[in-house]
């Protein structure tokens, strides 16, 4: 019998078996949403918190020959990034003349050597049509150990026209004075003289990550948006959930936030309320804010209290709107978890604090818990209510963590957000 030629056999196998089958191997990657926010506006239409007077930073509510340094905290880190810019609420095309992305050191200053130029179809500037969005080309940036935030710097040449923005960032970003020109390449942040607690034009950041990365979209209103979390504390309930998931499963999960203060399922806030401040209703913004998120598999939805307390909608109307949204989510092959509505008794504005609102809220919560429409339930109501007065938040949660003082009986604040994140059964995410 001829002696087998082991070397030839190995060479043959090497041709037909992928390298990943051998020791080490290469991982498959995909684009993953690692930070996002819901566009609204145009500026300044929306509910801001902790916002300085912007008269001198953005006179006339537009940008003019100035630069923005926008601070964001990715959920998942990697080495290849791209940003998404929005002109959804402009009334004319907008031009971004130059853009960079770098690692934040402190405030508006960057870690030396990390600022990378972004291109758009190979060009340094991009014109975004009215109602449209634009992705940058990918850029390589290894953030390094200990990095917590990235800074996206945008230059607005000329006069911008109405600005698409996100009102309540609960994160400090920075703006240079009008007329100071293109400062995007500078790693020294001193020329960004103004601070802001909103994000402008930037509504998404994606990263190349493992192909099994599971994106969770936190979808909802002000309570999901972070009212009233600690400014720069990254302590909204989605942030705490993100950290719990990473502690248990590693970096396989990315939680992104697509909430707007005042947002509603189906209703519209009547005059004299600020209807436009509430953003587009959930069923309208679903395609943009949920389905377009790269890698999305699961939605966690907390919404409905503004319909009831701000627009006097009935539980039946909210439930029908929920069924429509749930059906559309399921039609995309995604899962959706329902979060019960937290208490609002005692709230002084609108009808939020009334007995009628509390009754309607409880009816919606019964549907969420027992209606059988959601793929899972997280009981935020049970996690935040006062046992002796279940229509009210626990007094320890009725705080204003952003600017200080007592809360408004509607928003749970930092300690409440901790309790809400801890209410999740993490086995739901397997």
pLDDT of residue 1: 37
For the chain, how big is the Rg over CA atoms in Å? Answer: 23
Confidence of residue 8 (pLDDT cuts 50, 70, 90): very low
Omega cis (within 30) before 351? no
pLDDT of residue 95: 98
> Are 318 and 373 contacting, i.e. CB atoms less than 8 angstroms apart?
no
pLDDT of residue 26: 54
Q: Is the pLDDT of residue 25 over 70?
A: no
Q: Is the pLDDT of residue 79 over 70?
A: yes
Residue tagged 């007094």 (tokens):
395
User: What's phi and psi for 84, nearest 5 deg?
Assistant: -125, 130
Helices 237-249 and 413-422: crossing angle, nearest 10°? 40
pLDDT of residue 48: 98
Q: Is the pLDDT of residue 5 over 80?
A: no
pLDDT of residue 12: 33
pLDDT of residue 395: 98
Q: Is the pLDDT of residue 62 over 70?
A: yes
Q: What is the mean pLDDT of residues 281-294?
A: 98
pLDDT of residue 316: 98
Put simply, whether the predicted model's pTM sits higher than 0.85 gets the answer yes
**Predicted confidence (pLDDT) per residue in 218-270, tens digit:** 999 999 999 999 999 999 999 999 999 999 999 999 999 999 999 999 999 99
> Are 224 and 238 contacting, i.e. CB atoms less than 8 angstroms apart?
yes
**Predicted confidence (pLDDT) per residue in 102-130, tens digit:** 999 999 999 999 999 999 999 999 999 99
Considering the chain, what is the average pLDDT of its residues? 94
pLDDT of residue 146: 87
Q: Compute the distance between CA of residue 380 and CA of residue 365 in angstroms, rounded to an integer.
A: 10
Q: What is the mean pLDDT of residues 368-395?
A: 98
> Are 137 and 121 contacting, i.e. CB atoms less than 8 angstroms apart?
yes
Confidence of residue 10 (pLDDT cuts 50, 70, 90): very low
Q: Is the pLDDT of residue 27 over 90?
A: no
Confidence of residue 430 (pLDDT cuts 50, 70, 90): confident
Confidence of residue 145 (pLDDT cuts 50, 70, 90): confident
**Predicted confidence (pLDDT) per residue in 387-399, tens digit:** 999 999 999 999 9
Q: Which residues contact 96 (CB under 8 A, 6 or more apart)?
A: 85, 120, 125, 126, 128, 154, 155, 156, 201
Q: Is the pLDDT of residue 16 over 60?
A: no
Q: What is the mean pLDDT of residues 271-284?
A: 96
């Amino acid at each position: 019998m001829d002696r087998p030629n082991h070397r030839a056999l190995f060479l043959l196998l090497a041709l037909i078996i992928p390298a990943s089958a051998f020791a080490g191997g290469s991982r498959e990657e995909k684009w993953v949403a690692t930070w996002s926010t819901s566009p609204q506006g145009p500026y300044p239409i929306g509910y801001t918190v902790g916002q300085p007077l912007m008269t001198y930073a953005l006179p006339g509510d537009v940008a003019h020959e100035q630069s923005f340094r926008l601070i964001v905290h990715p959920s998942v880190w990697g080495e290849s990034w791209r940003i998404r810019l929005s002109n959804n609420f402009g009334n004319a095309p907008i031009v971004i003349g130059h853009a960079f992305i770098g690692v934040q050191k402190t405030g508006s200053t960057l870690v030396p050597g990390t600022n990378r130029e972004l291109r758009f179809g190979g060009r340094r500037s991009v014109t975004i049509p009215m109602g449209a969005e634009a992705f940058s080309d990918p850029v390589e940036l290894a953030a390094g150990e200990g990095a917590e935030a990235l800074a996206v710097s945008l230059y607005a040449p000329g006069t911008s026209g109405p600005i698409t923005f996100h009102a309540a960032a609960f994160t400090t970003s920075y703006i240079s004075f009008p007329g100071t020109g293109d400062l995007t390449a500078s790693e020294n942040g001193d020329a960004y003289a103004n601070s802001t607690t909103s994000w402008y034009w930037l509504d998404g950041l994606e990263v190349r990550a493992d192909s099994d990365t599971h994106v969770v979209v936190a979808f909802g209103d002000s309570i999901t948006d972070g009212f009233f979390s600690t400014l720069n504390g990254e302590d909204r309930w989605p942030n705490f959930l993100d950290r719990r998931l990473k502690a248990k499963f590693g970096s396989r999960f990315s939680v992104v936030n697509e909430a707007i203060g005042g947002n509603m399922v189906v209703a519209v806030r009547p005059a004299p309320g600020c209807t436009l401040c509430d953003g587009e209703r959930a069923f309208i913004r679903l395609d943009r804010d949920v389905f377009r998120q790269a890698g999305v598999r699961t939605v966690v939805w907390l919404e409905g209290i503004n319909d009831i307390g701000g627009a006097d909608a009935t539980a039946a109307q909210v439930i029908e709107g929920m069924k429509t949204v749930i059906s559309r989510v399921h039609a995309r092959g995604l899962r959706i978890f329902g979060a019960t509505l937290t208490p609002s008794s005692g709230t002084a504005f609108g009808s939020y604090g009334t007995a009628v609102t509390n009754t309607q809220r409880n009816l919606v919560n019964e549907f969420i818990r027992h209606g059988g429409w959601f793929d899972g339930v997280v009981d935020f109501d049970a996690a935040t209510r006062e046992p002796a007065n279940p229509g009210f938040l626990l007094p320890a949660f009725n705080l204003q963590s952003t600017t200080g003082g007592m809360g408004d009986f509607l928003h749970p604040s930092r300690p409440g957000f901790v309790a809400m994140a801890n209410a999740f059964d993490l086995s739901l995410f397997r």
